[in-house]
Chain A
Amino acid sequence: MTNEIHRMVFSESMKLADLIDVNFKLLNVLSRLGISLGFGENTIREMCDRQGIDLNSFLLICNVYTYDGYVPSADLLAAADAGTIVDYLHNSHAFYLDRELAALESNLSLMVEPCDELQKKIVGKFFASYKAQVKRHFNYEESVVFPYVRALKTGECQEGYSIEQFEENHSNIDETLNDLKNIVMKYLPDTCDTVVRNEVLYRIYRLEEDLLKHTIIEDTVLIPVVNRMETL
Protein backbone atom coordinates (compact mmCIF):
# COMPACT_ATOMS: atom_id res chain seq x y z
CA MET A 1 0.00 0.00 0.00
CA THR A 2 2.73 2.42 1.00
CA ASN A 3 4.60 1.63 -2.19
CA GLU A 4 1.53 2.21 -4.30
CA ILE A 5 1.09 5.65 -2.81
CA HIS A 6 4.72 6.49 -3.41
CA ARG A 7 4.41 5.57 -7.03
CA MET A 8 1.39 7.80 -7.47
CA VAL A 9 2.54 11.04 -5.89
CA PHE A 10 3.13 14.14 -7.92
CA SER A 11 6.65 15.29 -8.76
CA GLU A 12 8.15 18.60 -9.79
CA SER A 13 8.72 17.56 -13.41
CA MET A 14 5.01 16.92 -14.01
CA LYS A 15 3.15 19.33 -16.26
CA LEU A 16 0.51 21.41 -14.52
CA ALA A 17 -2.04 20.35 -17.13
CA ASP A 18 -1.39 16.69 -16.28
CA LEU A 19 -1.67 17.43 -12.60
CA ILE A 20 -5.17 18.80 -13.15
CA ASP A 21 -6.00 15.85 -15.37
CA VAL A 22 -5.20 13.49 -12.50
CA ASN A 23 -7.34 15.44 -10.05
CA PHE A 24 -9.45 18.26 -11.39
CA LYS A 25 -10.34 19.31 -7.85
CA LEU A 26 -6.83 20.77 -7.66
CA LEU A 27 -8.12 23.66 -9.82
CA ASN A 28 -9.21 25.42 -6.63
CA VAL A 29 -5.93 24.59 -4.97
CA LEU A 30 -3.94 26.18 -7.80
CA SER A 31 -5.91 29.39 -7.63
CA ARG A 32 -5.48 29.57 -3.86
CA LEU A 33 -1.76 29.14 -4.34
CA GLY A 34 -1.79 32.10 -6.72
CA ILE A 35 -1.51 30.23 -10.02
CA SER A 36 -3.94 31.17 -12.76
CA LEU A 37 -4.93 29.14 -15.79
CA GLY A 38 -3.23 29.52 -19.13
CA PHE A 39 -0.07 27.84 -17.91
CA GLY A 40 0.63 26.17 -21.28
CA GLU A 41 3.14 23.34 -21.10
CA ASN A 42 4.74 24.53 -17.87
CA THR A 43 5.88 21.98 -15.33
CA ILE A 44 5.25 22.33 -11.62
CA ARG A 45 8.85 23.39 -11.02
CA GLU A 46 8.84 26.01 -13.80
CA MET A 47 5.64 27.54 -12.51
CA CYS A 48 6.79 27.59 -8.89
CA ASP A 49 10.08 29.24 -9.89
CA ARG A 50 8.30 31.87 -11.94
CA GLN A 51 5.68 32.71 -9.33
CA GLY A 52 8.02 32.46 -6.37
CA ILE A 53 6.05 29.65 -4.77
CA ASP A 54 7.89 27.21 -2.53
CA LEU A 55 8.08 23.98 -4.53
CA ASN A 56 8.07 21.55 -1.62
CA SER A 57 5.05 23.17 -0.02
CA PHE A 58 3.24 23.08 -3.36
CA LEU A 59 3.89 19.36 -3.76
CA LEU A 60 2.92 18.65 -0.16
CA ILE A 61 -0.40 20.43 -0.48
CA CYS A 62 -1.30 18.81 -3.82
CA ASN A 63 -0.35 15.33 -2.63
CA VAL A 64 -2.22 15.56 0.65
CA TYR A 65 -5.19 17.06 -1.16
CA THR A 66 -5.30 14.25 -3.71
CA TYR A 67 -4.29 11.02 -2.00
CA ASP A 68 -6.26 9.80 0.99
CA GLY A 69 -4.01 8.49 3.70
CA TYR A 70 -0.91 10.10 2.21
CA VAL A 71 1.56 10.74 4.99
CA PRO A 72 4.31 13.21 4.04
CA SER A 73 7.87 12.07 4.69
CA ALA A 74 9.92 13.81 7.38
CA ASP A 75 12.28 15.12 4.67
CA LEU A 76 9.47 16.75 2.75
CA LEU A 77 8.05 18.30 5.91
CA ALA A 78 11.47 19.62 6.88
CA ALA A 79 11.84 21.24 3.46
CA ALA A 80 8.40 22.83 3.44
CA ASP A 81 7.81 26.52 4.02
CA ALA A 82 5.37 27.38 6.80
CA GLY A 83 4.69 30.78 5.23
CA THR A 84 3.45 29.26 1.98
CA ILE A 85 1.22 26.83 3.83
CA VAL A 86 -0.26 29.59 5.98
CA ASP A 87 -0.85 31.72 2.86
CA TYR A 88 -2.62 28.81 1.24
CA LEU A 89 -4.83 28.23 4.27
CA HIS A 90 -5.58 31.94 4.52
CA ASN A 91 -6.56 32.13 0.84
CA SER A 92 -8.73 29.08 1.33
CA HIS A 93 -10.61 30.80 4.16
CA ALA A 94 -11.27 33.79 1.94
CA PHE A 95 -12.41 31.48 -0.85
CA TYR A 96 -14.85 29.63 1.41
CA LEU A 97 -16.38 32.75 2.87
CA ASP A 98 -16.47 35.01 -0.19
CA ARG A 99 -17.20 32.44 -2.85
CA GLU A 100 -18.45 29.08 -1.67
CA LEU A 101 -20.68 30.12 1.20
CA ALA A 102 -21.98 33.12 -0.71
CA ALA A 103 -22.85 30.91 -3.70
CA LEU A 104 -24.41 28.28 -1.45
CA GLU A 105 -26.48 30.95 0.24
CA SER A 106 -27.88 32.28 -3.02
CA ASN A 107 -28.56 28.72 -4.25
CA LEU A 108 -30.39 28.03 -1.02
CA SER A 109 -32.60 31.08 -1.28
CA LEU A 110 -33.43 30.20 -4.88
CA MET A 111 -34.31 26.71 -3.70
CA VAL A 112 -36.71 27.79 -0.93
CA GLU A 113 -38.38 30.34 -3.21
CA PRO A 114 -41.53 28.18 -3.67
CA CYS A 115 -41.74 27.43 0.09
CA ASP A 116 -43.89 29.35 2.54
CA GLU A 117 -42.49 32.25 4.54
CA LEU A 118 -41.90 30.26 7.69
CA GLN A 119 -39.95 27.55 5.90
CA LYS A 120 -37.79 30.15 4.19
CA LYS A 121 -37.08 31.72 7.53
CA ILE A 122 -36.18 28.40 9.16
CA VAL A 123 -33.71 27.42 6.45
CA GLY A 124 -32.28 30.95 6.28
CA LYS A 125 -31.72 31.05 10.00
CA PHE A 126 -30.06 27.66 10.05
CA PHE A 127 -27.66 28.65 7.31
CA ALA A 128 -26.89 31.97 8.99
CA SER A 129 -25.93 30.16 12.17
CA TYR A 130 -23.73 27.79 10.19
CA LYS A 131 -21.99 30.70 8.51
CA ALA A 132 -21.42 32.42 11.84
CA GLN A 133 -19.92 29.21 13.20
CA VAL A 134 -17.53 28.92 10.26
CA LYS A 135 -16.51 32.58 10.61
CA ARG A 136 -15.79 32.18 14.30
CA HIS A 137 -13.61 29.20 13.61
CA PHE A 138 -11.68 30.90 10.78
CA ASN A 139 -11.28 34.06 12.85
CA TYR A 140 -9.48 32.17 15.56
CA GLU A 141 -7.01 30.77 13.06
CA GLU A 142 -6.58 34.12 11.32
CA SER A 143 -6.07 36.11 14.51
CA VAL A 144 -4.14 33.65 16.66
CA VAL A 145 -2.66 30.72 14.77
CA PHE A 146 -1.48 32.32 11.52
CA PRO A 147 0.17 35.40 13.11
CA TYR A 148 1.93 33.06 15.51
CA VAL A 149 3.32 30.94 12.67
CA ARG A 150 4.39 34.01 10.67
CA ALA A 151 6.16 35.47 13.69
CA LEU A 152 7.86 32.17 14.40
CA LYS A 153 9.12 32.15 10.84
CA THR A 154 10.84 35.52 11.23
CA GLY A 155 12.58 34.12 14.29
CA GLU A 156 10.45 35.89 16.84
CA CYS A 157 10.18 33.76 19.90
CA GLN A 158 6.71 33.84 21.33
CA GLU A 159 6.04 32.99 24.91
CA GLY A 160 2.81 31.48 26.09
CA TYR A 161 1.58 29.91 22.90
CA SER A 162 2.47 26.80 20.97
CA ILE A 163 0.90 24.98 18.05
CA GLU A 164 -0.03 22.24 20.51
CA GLN A 165 -2.78 24.53 21.71
CA PHE A 166 -4.19 24.60 18.23
CA GLU A 167 -6.56 21.91 19.31
CA GLU A 168 -8.34 21.21 16.14
CA ASN A 169 -12.02 21.10 16.41
CA HIS A 170 -13.79 21.27 13.12
CA SER A 171 -16.30 18.69 14.20
CA ASN A 172 -19.10 21.14 15.03
CA ILE A 173 -18.82 22.78 11.64
CA ASP A 174 -18.80 19.41 9.92
CA GLU A 175 -21.87 18.29 11.81
CA THR A 176 -23.85 21.39 10.96
CA LEU A 177 -23.04 21.10 7.26
CA ASN A 178 -23.96 17.44 7.38
CA ASP A 179 -27.30 18.36 8.97
CA LEU A 180 -27.93 20.90 6.23
CA LYS A 181 -27.27 18.17 3.67
CA ASN A 182 -29.80 15.86 5.30
CA ILE A 183 -32.39 18.61 5.59
CA VAL A 184 -32.06 19.58 1.92
CA MET A 185 -32.05 15.98 0.75
CA LYS A 186 -34.74 14.50 2.96
CA TYR A 187 -36.95 17.00 4.69
CA LEU A 188 -37.73 19.99 2.51
CA PRO A 189 -41.20 20.05 0.96
CA ASP A 190 -41.36 18.70 -2.58
CA THR A 191 -42.49 22.07 -3.89
CA CYS A 192 -38.77 22.86 -4.17
CA ASP A 193 -37.40 22.47 -7.68
CA THR A 194 -35.41 19.26 -7.95
CA VAL A 195 -32.74 20.64 -10.25
CA VAL A 196 -32.03 23.58 -7.97
CA ARG A 197 -32.08 21.27 -5.00
CA ASN A 198 -29.55 19.00 -6.71
CA GLU A 199 -27.30 21.97 -7.33
CA VAL A 200 -27.42 22.81 -3.64
CA LEU A 201 -26.54 19.23 -2.76
CA TYR A 202 -23.64 19.06 -5.21
CA ARG A 203 -22.35 22.26 -3.69
CA ILE A 204 -22.64 20.95 -0.15
CA TYR A 205 -20.88 17.70 -1.04
CA ARG A 206 -18.05 19.56 -2.76
CA LEU A 207 -17.68 21.98 0.12
CA GLU A 208 -17.74 19.14 2.62
CA GLU A 209 -14.93 17.37 0.80
CA ASP A 210 -12.93 20.55 0.36
CA LEU A 211 -13.23 21.45 4.05
CA LEU A 212 -12.18 17.94 4.99
CA LYS A 213 -9.00 18.29 2.92
CA HIS A 214 -8.44 21.69 4.49
CA THR A 215 -8.50 20.09 7.93
CA ILE A 216 -6.19 17.31 6.81
CA ILE A 217 -3.68 19.86 5.49
CA GLU A 218 -3.78 21.66 8.84
CA ASP A 219 -3.32 18.43 10.77
CA THR A 220 -0.77 16.60 8.64
CA VAL A 221 1.19 19.52 7.19
CA LEU A 222 0.87 22.73 9.18
CA ILE A 223 1.07 21.24 12.67
CA PRO A 224 4.13 19.00 12.07
CA VAL A 225 5.96 21.76 10.16
CA VAL A 226 5.37 24.28 12.95
CA ASN A 227 6.15 21.71 15.62
CA ARG A 228 9.53 21.26 14.02
CA MET A 229 10.16 25.02 13.88
CA GLU A 230 9.33 25.31 17.57
CA THR A 231 11.94 22.78 18.55
CA LEU A 232 14.70 24.27 16.39
Chain B
Amino acid sequence: MKSAYKKVLLIIPSKVLARGVEAVLAELGEFRVEGILSDLSHASEVRLRNMDADVIIVDPVVFDYVSRMNVRARLSEYSSAAVVALLTMAMDGEQLKQYDGTIGMYDEPVSMVRKLRESISSREEAADSEGPDLSQREKEILVCVAKGMLNKEIADFYNISIHTVITHRKNITRKTGIKTVAGLTVYALLNNLIDSGSIEL
Protein backbone atom coordinates (compact mmCIF):
# COMPACT_ATOMS: atom_id res chain seq x y z
CA MET B 1 0.00 0.00 0.00
CA LYS B 2 1.32 3.45 -0.88
CA SER B 3 1.21 5.91 1.97
CA ALA B 4 0.10 9.45 1.35
CA TYR B 5 3.50 10.88 2.10
CA LYS B 6 7.09 9.89 1.38
CA LYS B 7 9.19 8.68 4.26
CA VAL B 8 12.44 10.50 4.88
CA LEU B 9 15.35 9.36 6.97
CA LEU B 10 17.96 11.90 8.03
CA ILE B 11 21.55 10.98 8.73
CA ILE B 12 22.69 14.32 10.02
CA PRO B 13 24.92 14.77 13.07
CA SER B 14 23.90 18.38 13.68
CA LYS B 15 20.68 18.47 15.69
CA VAL B 16 20.00 22.03 14.59
CA LEU B 17 20.21 21.08 10.94
CA ALA B 18 18.24 17.86 11.36
CA ARG B 19 15.41 19.59 13.22
CA GLY B 20 15.48 22.38 10.65
CA VAL B 21 15.07 20.01 7.71
CA GLU B 22 12.35 18.16 9.58
CA ALA B 23 10.42 21.36 10.25
CA VAL B 24 10.75 22.67 6.70
CA LEU B 25 9.49 19.39 5.24
CA ALA B 26 6.65 19.15 7.77
CA GLU B 27 5.30 22.53 6.64
CA LEU B 28 4.97 21.41 3.06
CA GLY B 29 3.57 17.88 3.60
CA GLU B 30 4.42 15.29 0.94
CA PHE B 31 7.68 14.36 2.70
CA ARG B 32 7.78 13.41 6.34
CA VAL B 33 10.87 12.80 8.46
CA GLU B 34 10.41 9.40 10.12
CA GLY B 35 13.80 8.99 11.67
CA ILE B 36 16.95 10.90 12.52
CA LEU B 37 20.30 9.19 12.91
CA SER B 38 23.36 11.09 14.00
CA ASP B 39 25.86 8.44 12.87
CA LEU B 40 26.12 4.99 11.35
CA SER B 41 26.64 2.79 14.39
CA HIS B 42 25.44 -0.80 14.46
CA ALA B 43 22.13 0.19 16.03
CA SER B 44 21.65 2.82 13.34
CA GLU B 45 22.28 0.25 10.64
CA VAL B 46 19.49 -1.92 11.99
CA ARG B 47 17.09 1.02 11.94
CA LEU B 48 18.25 1.94 8.49
CA ARG B 49 17.45 -1.52 7.24
CA ASN B 50 14.02 -1.58 8.78
CA MET B 51 12.72 1.86 8.13
CA ASP B 52 11.76 1.35 4.54
CA ALA B 53 12.49 5.00 3.77
CA ASP B 54 11.79 6.48 0.35
CA VAL B 55 14.62 8.94 0.59
CA ILE B 56 17.65 9.31 2.83
CA ILE B 57 19.13 12.75 3.33
CA VAL B 58 22.71 12.41 4.46
CA ASP B 59 25.21 15.00 5.55
CA PRO B 60 28.46 13.67 4.02
CA VAL B 61 30.43 14.82 7.08
CA VAL B 62 29.22 11.60 8.73
CA PHE B 63 31.81 9.82 6.63
CA ASP B 64 35.51 10.46 6.79
CA TYR B 65 37.26 11.79 3.73
CA VAL B 66 38.34 8.41 2.37
CA SER B 67 34.98 6.66 2.68
CA ARG B 68 33.09 9.68 1.35
CA MET B 69 33.42 8.28 -2.17
CA ASN B 70 31.40 5.20 -1.17
CA VAL B 71 28.46 6.60 0.77
CA ARG B 72 25.92 5.47 -1.77
CA ALA B 73 27.35 1.94 -1.94
CA ARG B 74 27.50 1.69 1.83
CA LEU B 75 23.91 2.82 2.29
CA SER B 76 22.63 0.57 -0.48
CA GLU B 77 23.65 -2.41 1.63
CA TYR B 78 20.88 -1.48 4.02
CA SER B 79 18.29 0.40 2.08
CA SER B 80 17.02 0.83 -1.44
CA ALA B 81 15.96 4.42 -0.81
CA ALA B 82 17.11 7.36 -2.92
CA VAL B 83 20.12 9.00 -1.31
CA VAL B 84 20.38 12.79 -1.30
CA ALA B 85 23.38 14.74 -0.04
CA LEU B 86 22.83 17.73 2.19
CA LEU B 87 25.61 20.14 1.27
CA THR B 88 27.03 21.46 4.49
CA MET B 89 30.50 22.08 3.10
CA ALA B 90 32.31 22.49 -0.18
CA MET B 91 32.55 19.12 -1.86
CA ASP B 92 34.38 17.53 -4.74
CA GLY B 93 32.09 17.26 -7.77
CA GLU B 94 33.18 13.68 -8.31
CA GLN B 95 31.98 12.72 -4.88
CA LEU B 96 28.58 14.23 -5.55
CA LYS B 97 27.96 12.10 -8.62
CA GLN B 98 27.11 9.05 -6.55
CA TYR B 99 24.03 10.70 -5.04
CA ASP B 100 20.57 10.69 -6.52
CA GLY B 101 20.38 14.40 -5.77
CA THR B 102 21.76 17.21 -3.64
CA ILE B 103 20.13 19.88 -1.55
CA GLY B 104 21.70 22.94 0.02
CA MET B 105 21.20 24.65 3.33
CA TYR B 106 20.07 27.82 1.52
CA ASP B 107 17.53 26.10 -0.75
CA GLU B 108 14.00 27.42 -0.74
CA PRO B 109 11.70 24.81 0.83
CA VAL B 110 9.75 24.44 -2.41
CA SER B 111 12.84 23.73 -4.47
CA MET B 112 14.07 21.34 -1.80
CA VAL B 113 10.89 19.31 -2.15
CA ARG B 114 11.19 19.39 -5.92
CA LYS B 115 14.74 18.07 -5.71
CA LEU B 116 13.68 15.29 -3.38
CA ARG B 117 10.92 14.32 -5.78
CA GLU B 118 13.39 14.23 -8.67
CA SER B 119 15.83 12.14 -6.71
CA ILE B 120 13.19 9.50 -6.04
CA SER B 121 12.21 9.23 -9.68
CA SER B 122 15.83 9.09 -10.81
CA ARG B 123 16.42 6.35 -8.26
CA GLU B 124 13.42 4.40 -9.52
CA GLU B 125 14.70 4.56 -13.08
CA ALA B 126 18.14 3.41 -12.01
CA ALA B 127 16.86 0.49 -9.99
CA ASP B 128 16.02 -2.51 -12.09
CA SER B 129 15.61 -5.02 -9.29
CA GLU B 130 13.82 -3.59 -6.34
CA GLY B 131 11.57 -6.47 -5.35
CA PRO B 132 12.32 -8.29 -2.12
CA ASP B 133 13.30 -11.43 -4.05
CA LEU B 134 16.46 -11.89 -6.05
CA SER B 135 16.15 -10.99 -9.72
CA GLN B 136 17.11 -13.51 -12.37
CA ARG B 137 20.42 -11.77 -13.00
CA GLU B 138 21.14 -11.61 -9.26
CA LYS B 139 20.56 -15.35 -9.00
CA GLU B 140 22.99 -15.95 -11.86
CA ILE B 141 25.62 -13.80 -10.19
CA LEU B 142 24.99 -15.51 -6.85
CA VAL B 143 25.60 -18.90 -8.45
CA CYS B 144 28.92 -17.65 -9.86
CA VAL B 145 29.94 -16.35 -6.43
CA ALA B 146 28.98 -19.66 -4.82
CA LYS B 147 31.11 -21.49 -7.36
CA GLY B 148 34.03 -19.38 -6.24
CA MET B 149 34.34 -17.06 -9.24
CA LEU B 150 36.01 -13.68 -8.70
CA ASN B 151 34.29 -10.41 -9.59
CA LYS B 152 36.57 -10.00 -12.59
CA GLU B 153 35.73 -13.46 -13.88
CA ILE B 154 32.01 -12.88 -13.42
CA ALA B 155 32.28 -9.55 -15.26
CA ASP B 156 34.09 -11.20 -18.18
CA PHE B 157 31.68 -14.12 -18.25
CA TYR B 158 28.58 -11.93 -18.60
CA ASN B 159 30.38 -9.17 -20.44
CA ILE B 160 29.43 -6.55 -17.86
CA SER B 161 31.58 -4.13 -15.87
CA ILE B 162 33.08 -5.03 -12.50
CA HIS B 163 31.18 -2.10 -11.10
CA THR B 164 27.90 -3.71 -12.16
CA VAL B 165 28.94 -7.02 -10.61
CA ILE B 166 29.67 -5.24 -7.33
CA THR B 167 26.29 -3.50 -7.43
CA HIS B 168 24.58 -6.85 -7.95
CA ARG B 169 26.52 -8.36 -5.08
CA LYS B 170 25.54 -5.50 -2.78
CA ASN B 171 21.90 -5.98 -3.75
CA ILE B 172 22.16 -9.72 -3.09
CA THR B 173 23.58 -9.03 0.37
CA ARG B 174 20.95 -6.43 1.13
CA LYS B 175 18.14 -8.78 0.17
CA THR B 176 19.41 -11.95 1.82
CA GLY B 177 21.32 -10.47 4.75
CA ILE B 178 24.23 -12.77 3.89
CA LYS B 179 27.70 -11.32 3.41
CA THR B 180 30.30 -14.06 3.20
CA VAL B 181 30.98 -16.24 0.18
CA ALA B 182 30.53 -19.37 2.32
CA GLY B 183 27.15 -18.08 3.50
CA LEU B 184 26.04 -17.28 -0.06
CA THR B 185 27.03 -20.79 -1.10
CA VAL B 186 24.81 -22.23 1.64
CA TYR B 187 21.99 -20.00 0.46
CA ALA B 188 22.41 -21.12 -3.14
CA LEU B 189 22.44 -24.79 -2.16
CA LEU B 190 19.47 -24.59 0.20
CA ASN B 191 17.44 -22.80 -2.46
CA ASN B 192 18.45 -25.27 -5.14
CA LEU B 193 20.08 -22.61 -7.27
CA ILE B 194 23.04 -24.94 -7.74
CA ASP B 195 23.35 -28.65 -7.37
CA SER B 196 25.87 -30.07 -4.96
CA GLY B 197 27.87 -31.61 -7.82
CA SER B 198 29.06 -28.24 -9.03
CA ILE B 199 30.87 -27.31 -5.83
CA GLU B 200 33.11 -29.12 -3.43
CA LEU B 201 31.40 -30.28 -0.28
Contact = CB atoms under 8 A, between A and B. Distances in A.
Interface of A: 118-119, 121-123, 125-126, 129-130, 172, 175-176, 178-180, 182-183, 186-189
Interface in B151-201: 176-180, 182-183, 185-187, 189-191, 196, 201
Contacts of A125: 201
B39 to A, nearest CB: 12
Nearest to B196: A118
B41 to A, nearest CB: 9
A-B interface, 8 closest residue pairs, ranked by CB to CB distance from nearest = A179-B183, A182-B177, A175-B179, A179-B178, A122-B189, A187-B190, A126-B186, A179-B180
A178 B190 contact: no
A125 B189 CA distance: 12
B37 to A, nearest CB: 16
Contacts of B201: 118, 121-122, 125
B183 A119 contact: no
Interface of B: 176-180, 182-183, 185-187, 189-191, 196, 201
A183 B179 contact: no
Contact of B183 (A118, A176, A188): A176
B64 to A, nearest CB: 17
A131 B176 CA distance: 22
B interface secondary structure, majority? helix
B187 A183 contact: yes
A158 to B, nearest CB: 32
Given A121-B201, A123-B186, A187-B187, A182 B180 contact: no
A187 B177 CA distance: 11
A178 B45 CA distance: 14
Chain A facing B: main interface SS? helix
A42 B186 CA distance: 50
A176 B182 CA distance: 8
A122 B196 CA distance: 9
A126 B190 contact: no
Nearest to A212: B42
Contact of A175 (B176, B180, B186, B190): B180
B190 A182 contact: no
Contacts of B179: 175, 178-179
Contacts of B191: 187
B182 A126 contact: yes
Contacts of A130: 182
Contacts of B182: 126, 129-130, 176, 179
Contact of B176 (A123, A126, A180, A182): A182
Contacts of B186: 122-123, 126, 179, 183, 187
Nearest to A130: B182
23 contacts: A121-B201, A122-B190, A122-B196, A126-B185, A126-B186, A129-B182, A172-B180, A175-B180, A175-B183, A176-B182, A179-B182, A179-B183, A180-B183, A182-B177, A182-B183, A183-B183, A183-B186, A186-B177, A187-B186, A187-B187, A187-B190, A187-B191, A188-B190
A9 B196 CA distance: 53
Contacts of B180: 172, 175-176, 179
Contacts of A183: 178, 183, 186-187, 190
A130 B179 CA distance: 13
Contacts of B178: 179, 182-183
